[in-house]
Amino acid sequence: MSEEVAATNADVPASEDVQAEEHRIPQPDKITNKDLMKSWFGWWWANEVPHTFDRMLAPAFCFGLIPTLKKLYKDKTELAKAFQRHLLFFNTQATWGGGTLTGVTISLEEARAKALANGEEPISEDMINNTKVGLMGPLAGIGDSIDSGTVQYIFIAIFLPFAQKGNFMGALLPFLCFAIATFTYGYYFTKMGYSLGRAAAKEIMTGGRMAGIIDGLGVLGLYMMGILAGQYIKIQSYLKFTISKKTFDVQDILNTILPGILPLFAVLMLYWYFQKQGLKITRGLVYLTIALVVLSIFYVI
């Protein structure tokens, strides 16, 4: 400490330069394909490991960005701010969402670091966060249905006959195919996100074409969520009651009014809860579980 004080005191004529340096951060290093691979691999590797209820996959996303952010922000305060903003709530699918957004985020962070180094108006932290949050939902909807819903089961279906005959290749081959395919196109998405993000950074700020892309992805994401809701939520009523020797089956009555009304009701109640109370996922989970347990103990569902 005392040495530093002595050093600044000795450099009195240079104090103006020191002040200017305080506003500017050192020039960032150039981002190479190797850095993109490091960040993609970091996200791919961490992906679900640090999953929490309150921030979901944000820690994994931040983990992937660590080596790149270190190259971009040689200033300790800016680096700490960058770490902190990427630990905020984030949830998406690994390749379509995470790959693309790793690339887009790196390009935005690079633009911000360069602007800070050159003393220009930088892209704001909010802008980086809004881009991530705006794209993560739609891309997750697409990625969940394509990667885990389609690609995975295509490979399993192809090699299942091996397993049925007792051959271990029936397990190993679908795993290897899935792992190699998703890793490869996930890296491709990262590179695409990086080059697209750099060109699109301005457009996102002013609206324009990027708003159309986000809208289109929103349509596709909500559409796929509707399909998944119809196929994967299994809630039906087992309630039966007898009035003057006539038995009424509640599910039959519901089917004549509107088939699939109960799963839809569950989703809409949760959605309505999130709209009113904000995205409180843990509470949503607890309330839903309690409701399902209570109703099913009495065989209402």
Partner 1 sequence: MHVTLSIWQALLIALWVALVESRILGFSTLTMRFSPLMTGMMVGFIMGDIKQAMIVTAAIQLVYMGFVAPGGALPAEPCIATAIAVPVALLGHMSPQGAIAIAVPVGLLGSYLYQFRFFLNTFALKPMDKYAKEGNARGLGFAIMGIPTLISFALFIPLMFIALYFGAPVISGLVANIEHGTLIHVLNSVGGGLAALGIAVIMQVIGKKQLLPFFFLAYFMSVAFAKLDISMTIYAIFGAIFAILYVTFTSKKSTN
Site for partner 1 in 221-240 (CB under 8 A): 221-235
Residue of 186, 187, 190, 200 that binds partner 1 (CB under 8 A): 186
Contact letters for partner 1, residues 43-82 (x by CB under 8 A): -xxxxxxxxxxx-x--xx-xx--x---x-----xx-xx--
Determine if 130 is a binding residue for partner 1 (CB under 8 A): no
Determine if 279 is a binding residue for partner 1 (CB under 8 A): yes
CB nearer partner 1, residue 6 or residue 172: 172
CB nearer partner 1, residue 20 or residue 285: 285
Determine if 18 is a binding residue for partner 1 (CB under 8 A): no
How much helix, strand and coil, in percent to the nearest 5, is found in the chain? 75, 5, 20
- What is the closest distance, in whole angstroms, from the C-beta atom of residue 287 to partner 1 in the complex? 10
Alpha-carbon distance 55 to 61, whole Å? 11
Determine if 171 is a binding residue for partner 1 (CB under 8 A): yes
Residue of 156, 192, 239, 254 that binds partner 1 (CB under 8 A): 156
- What is the closest distance, in whole angstroms, from the C-beta atom of residue 60 to partner 1 in the complex? 7
CB nearer partner 1, residue 16 or residue 170: 170
- What is the closest distance, in whole angstroms, from the C-beta atom of residue 217 to partner 1 in the complex? 7
- What is the closest distance, in whole angstroms, from the C-beta atom of residue 260 to partner 1 in the complex? 4
Tell me, by CB under 8 A, how many residues bind partner 1.
111
Q: Write out the DSSP string of 55-121.
A: TBTHHHHHHHHHHHHHHH--SHHHHHHHHHHTTS-B---IIIIIIHHHHHHHHHHHHHHHHHHHTS-
Phi-psi label, residue 245: left if phi above 0, alpha if psi -120 to 50, beta otherwise: left
Rounded to 5°, the CA angle 11-15-21 comes to: 120
Alpha-carbon distance 51 to 66, whole Å? 17
Query: 32, 106 in Cβ contact below 8 A?
Result: no
- What is the closest distance, in whole angstroms, from the C-beta atom of residue 162 to partner 1 in the complex? 8
Handedness of CA 14, 20, 21, 27 (dihedral sign): negative
Residue of 183, 188, 198, 250 that binds partner 1 (CB under 8 A): 183
Determine if 158 is a binding residue for partner 1 (CB under 8 A): no
Alpha-carbon distance 107 to 88, whole Å? 19
Alpha-carbon distance 1 to 220, whole Å? 58
Alpha-carbon distance 293 to 60, whole Å? 32
How crowded is the C-beta side of 188, counted as CA atoms within 13 Å?
Answer: 7
CB nearer partner 1, residue 15 or residue 296: 296
Q: Which stretch binds partner 1 (CB under 8 A): 5-13, 89-97, 113-121, 122-130?
A: 89-97
